[in-house]
Amino acid sequence: MNHDYNKEALLLHKEFQGKIETGLKVPLANREDLSRAYTPGVAEVCREIARDPSLAYEYTLKRNTVAIVTDGSAILGLGNLGPKAAIPVMEGKAAILKSFAGVDAFPICLDTQDTEEIIKAVKQLSPVFGAINLEDIAAPRCFEIEERLRAELDIPVMHDDQWGAGTVSLTAVINSINLRGITKDEVKVVINGIGAAGVATARLLLAYGIKNILFCDTKGMIHKGRIELTKEKKELLAASSLGGHEGTLEDALMGAHVFIGLSKPNVLTKEMIKKMAERPIIFALANPTPEIMPEDAHTAGAFIVATGRSDYPNQINNSLVFPGLFRGALDAQIKQFDIMLFVKIAIALAEYVKEPKVDEILPSMFDKGVVDVVKNCVMR
């Protein structure tokens, strides 16, 4: 059956007027119920928390609640659409957290794209929440916002466009190169698109031990001769064993084993793939339209193809990571995430796929065991 998911999504959202709602844990059927849940009884709960603020985890929703914070500046692959247009995506993430991991989450769509204002707003809202999920905030501001909030808050903060995407990409790389029969010391990777997801993916590959990486952006290959490089791009160049030199994406792909696209639609051609190493691995992750369509990549000789789409095999989707990550973070009340935790999660997810195949390099996001795999990595 052919689906017009755009039309179906509009009908769904209009019918239900969104995807989430608040619910009650306690009854409010009579005066006694109200006296315990609200005044006068609630005053004693307030006094106890004022005496010991850590009791907020025992007496309130804080223990199981995540703020999904965006400024609407980088929504999916659609760009800067603003905070109201971001609401459906943030609602969707909240729905996934609740359905997959039992985590309560709420969209916080801020009407500002000023770094200092975003940091201030999140800090002021943080007492209610047990963790912060930053989402769809454009680079390079997203790096500073996450770094500052991690340093200044006592609850874990993750920009999912970076670490969710990067962790699943690393999982896919691990199983793909194993199927291809090449080691992490031998593999040559080209990452196209050095924004939020591209930087985090590169950092995770490097932390895992893959050092032969070339980086490309809209101006071609990143190299030391370019004077406008951000701090993040300079750090990646210094960490790669290949460094960088002048040239185009096509130049970078010569003899490469893996292409990871986190960029724009239709920037990869069949001719480029044919210049890569034999049986190349193609991750075309621009969403909703990838850098090359899977059927075209296979025609050009690709061994494994992955996209960000659910209508093709090998969907690289953050939903494999963030439900279990926040479930574990809330249960363990950890203070912060670090890069080696994400590497550990990627390895665990790769190992969870008992018999990887060219069209099955990742576990299904609907596999109920995935949340536990990720959660256990956080809690150990």
Q: Report the C-alpha gap between 215 and 319 in whole angstroms.
A: 26
Number of domains present in the structure of the chain: 2
Q: Would you say 337 and 329 are in contact if contact means Cβ atoms under 8 Å apart?
A: yes
The answer to whether residue 46 sits within a structural domain is yes
Q: Report the C-alpha gap between 236 and 246 in whole angstroms.
A: 16
The answer to whether residue 189 sits within a structural domain is yes
Lookup: tokens for 312: 């093709």
* Domain boundary residue, one of 155, 183, 200: 155
| Contacts (Cβ under 8 Å, ≥6 apart) of 5 | none
pLDDT tens-digit readout, 297-345: 999 999 999 999 888 999 999 999 999 999 999 999 999 999 999 999 9
* Domain boundary residue, one of 126, 155, 184: 155
Which of 7, 14, 25, 38 is flagged as catalytic? 38
pLDDT of residue 380: 84
CATH of the domain at 287: 3.40.50.720
The answer to whether residue 343 sits within a structural domain is no
The answer to whether residue 327 sits within a structural domain is no
19 and 149 both lie in a single domain: yes
pLDDT of residue 242: 86
pLDDT of residue 224: 84
Lookup: tokens for 309: 């789409």
Q: Report the C-alpha gap between 346 and 70 in whole angstroms.
A: 25
- Which residues are 65's β-sheet partners? 104
pLDDT of residue 246: 85
174 and 135 both lie in a single domain: no
292 and 249 both lie in a single domain: yes
- Quick check: 10 pLDDT over 90? yes
pLDDT tens-digit readout, 90-134: 999 999 999 999 999 999 999 999 999 999 999 999 999 999 999
**Residues written for the chain:** 380
pLDDT of residue 342: 97
Amino acid of residue 360? E
| Contacts (Cβ under 8 Å, ≥6 apart) of 217 | 192, 193, 194, 233, 263
149 and 227 both lie in a single domain: no
The answer to whether residue 319 sits within a structural domain is no
pLDDT tens-digit readout, 233-277: 999 999 998 877 889 999 999 999 999 999 989 999 999 999 999
pTM: 0.93
- Catalytic-residue membership of 208: no
pLDDT of residue 228: 81
* Position 1 confidence tier, pLDDT thresholds 50, 70, 90: low
The answer to whether residue 370 sits within a structural domain is no
Q: Report the C-alpha gap between 176 and 254 in whole angstroms.
A: 19
Q: Would you say 272 and 291 are in contact if contact means Cβ atoms under 8 Å apart?
A: no
Alpha-carbon dihedral 285, 286, 292, 297, rounded to 10 degrees: 0
Which of 93, 188, 233, 375 is flagged as catalytic? 93
* Position 296 confidence tier, pLDDT thresholds 50, 70, 90: very high
Q: Would you say 295 and 359 are in contact if contact means Cβ atoms under 8 Å apart?
A: no
pLDDT of residue 226: 86
* Domain boundary residue, one of 122, 155, 188: 155
- Catalytic-residue membership of 93: yes
pLDDT tens-digit readout, 60-89: 999 999 999 999 999 887 889 999 999 999
Q: Would you say 237 and 224 are in contact if contact means Cβ atoms under 8 Å apart?
A: yes
212 and 290 both lie in a single domain: yes
Q: Would you say 207 and 343 are in contact if contact means Cβ atoms under 8 Å apart?
A: yes
187 and 292 both lie in a single domain: yes
The answer to whether residue 325 sits within a structural domain is no
Sheet of 281-284, strand order: 220-221, 213-217, 189-192, 258-261, 281-284, 304-307
Q: Greatest CA span in the chain, whole angstroms? A: 75
Domain of 215? 163-307
